[in-house]
Amino acid sequence: MSTAPALDYPAAAPRPVPAAPQDRWDRLRFDACAAETPPGVAEEDHAPRLVWSNGRTAERPDPAEWAGVIVRASAETLLGMRPAAQLSRWLDPAVWTALNRRATLGVQIAGRPRRPRAVAVRRVHPCEVTDGVWECSVVLDDGTRVRAAAVRLEDHRGRWRATAVRIG
């Protein structure tokens, strides 16, 4: 047995833990849904309407076509190509607020595009949930990627209003 003192070697420096690769921020990824009205709470929208129709009834447009228009306009808004105010009458106020906030954030982070990419709707798959409520899945080409989108349309005073929009 040796009586020599043990040498204390300095501890090795801790190795940095490799960070998980961060995904780039995707300015087109969006998900918003309108808050549901609690049962028993009356909305102003359900009050009877007094409208002079001159004997004609206006029919709502095709929900598939309307869903494509709303998703395309939402994507253009998120890319900074269209003002969010243009969508205010087609979207539920909660959905519009979320879209406007996300679009403003996108412009602050990435700026407005110098050469905007053409956004095109490839295909729309509509599905009637109940009378006056449709859910549509939309295939959207933003010029860089082909994306899936979904929109829920509800009858609001004789026209379609999007109460949920999701772009992946």
Q: For residues 26-46, give the mean pLDDT.
A: 68
pTM: 0.73
Per-domain residue ranges of the chain = 61-167
Output the average pLDDT for the chain: 83
Assess contact for 99 and 74: CB atoms under 8 A.
yes
Structural class in CATH, domain 61-167: alpha beta
pLDDT value at 48 more than 50: no
User: Which residue has 């989108």 as its token pair?
Assistant: 149
Q: Which two tokens stand for residue 166?
A: 């999701």
Residue 35 C-alpha from the chain's centroid: 15
